[in-house]
Structure 1
Amino acid sequence: MERTTAATTAGPRPRADALRNRERIIDAARELAVQYGADAPLDEVARRAGVGNATLYRHFHDRSVLMRQVVLSVIERAAGHAERAAAEEDDPFEAVSRFAHAAVDERVGALCAMFSAGFDPYHPDLVQARERFDTAVDALMERARRAGQLRADSETGDLMVALSQLTRPLPGTTCPANDRFVHRHIQLLLDGLRAPARSTLQGSAVTLEDLRAAR
């Protein structure tokens, strides 16, 4: 019979601790990226995550690796919100609304500035995550459109661009007051997407293909 030792019984704990540290680092970097973009100070990331610098670099050997993981985390979490909204909300437009408010809380607007962090935006993990995200949000919008709840002159890209613009920090500012108003403004946007339309939109609708071409 194998003898149980302190080493064997304590074996799984360092892995669990390491995973928690990794998640804390990613969460801290995401919050700081809202303020500083891709130039978020790594010392402050470690401090806010409650870990030492050595622990941060053990998980992420340079800034680009960390920022790529932050972007991946935000995209995957936002895709999860869209998928759960579709599965749990009977009302199609309520599903769109639930996703939009959740995406605000994920700080999706900070992603644009973070793509200057020097990592490959076409890394396979990022491409796969973006495809999952695009598919999930497009399905939400199409469901609302078929139900007659979404104005006919709008496309999925219109929602994505608006979410990005409304949640992106202004250059050179931390804009601490923005969080007080962003859900209010997202609701105004959502009311504008509802059918029947009360105005005529200028220009053409933004499609997913338009956004993909701009990446």
Structure 2
Amino acid sequence: MRADARRNQERIVTVAGETIAEQGADASLEEIARRAGVGSATLHRHFQTRQALLEAVFRGRVEALCDRARSADLEPGPALVAWLRAVSRHAAANRGLAASLMRGADPSLGATCHRMIITAADHLVSAAQRAGDVRADVTAVDLLKLANAVSLSTEGDPTEADRLLTLALTGIHP
């Protein structure tokens, strides 16, 4: 990739992150292109779909969450809960992320943020099930849907997301 094209791509991703933080994941692509100082065609040349742009914006953040899942120093059950809390707080703090990641990702994109999160969650859930900390009928997708539902209902308030996720995971028993 030419240096100017790489700079354009990096500027688009940076501006998209800022715009999405302000307006949510459904922010206008034309507005993002305008703020980045490129034409709409340039944006679409680099990112053929909204999902591709969202993944570019959130990939580093999602990679960090997934690294956290792989390097957890806790026992399996607490590691899963701590990671789900981090996912929920992250999604609540990033307007529209929870909804955008729950949509079907374009399979032609390869290793998507959605797939990375599912893979990390599968690893944690399996370990927690082997340790007897999680019921055998619980799936990673179940828990991610729960965390995302909490995030959607508390968007912009990571502390409230954490509180509600804790309530959902521990139940109403004292």
Q: Shared topology, TM-score over 0.5?
A: yes
Q: Which of 164, 168, 190 matches 2:169? A: 190
SS in 1 for 2:71: helix
Structure 1 residues not aligned, in runs of 5+: 1-10, 116-120, 170-174, 199-215
Is 1:45–2:32 an aligned residue pair?
Answer: yes
Counterpart of 1:155, as a letter, is: T
Compute the displacement of 1:44 (Å).
4.2
* Structure 1 residue 145: Cα displacement: 1.6
1:22: how far off? 3.1
Match for residue 164 of structure 1 among 140, 148, 172: 148
Letter in 2 for 1:28: E
- Which structure's relative contact order is higher, taking Cα pairs within 8 Å and 6+ residues apart? 2
- Which sections of structure 2, spanning at least 5 residues, go unmatched? none
Question: Cα RMSD between the aligned structures?
Answer: 3.8
Distance in 2 of aligned mates of 1:132 and 1:177? 23
User: What are the superposed Cα offsets for residues 186-209 of structure 1, whole Å, 9 maximum, x if unpaired?
Assistant: 2222324xxxx96xxxxxxxxxxx
What TM-score, normalized by structure 1, do the two folds share?
0.57
The list of structure 1 runs, each at least 4 consecutive aligned residues, that deviate by more than 6 angstroms after superposition, is none
* Structure possessing the higher radius of gyration over alpha carbons: 1
Please show how residues 136-175 of structure 1 align to structure 2 within 5 Å: 136-168=120-152
The 1:151/1:132 distance shift into structure 2, 3 A limit, reads same
**What secondary structure sits across from 1:149 in the alignment?**
coil
**Greater CA deviation, 129-138 or 139-148?**
129-138
Instruction: Normalising by structure 2, report the TM-score.
Output: 0.67
SS across alignment from 1:142: helix
Deviation at residue 31 of structure 1 after TM alignment: 2.9
Percent of pairs with identical residues: 18
Aligned residues between the structures? 166
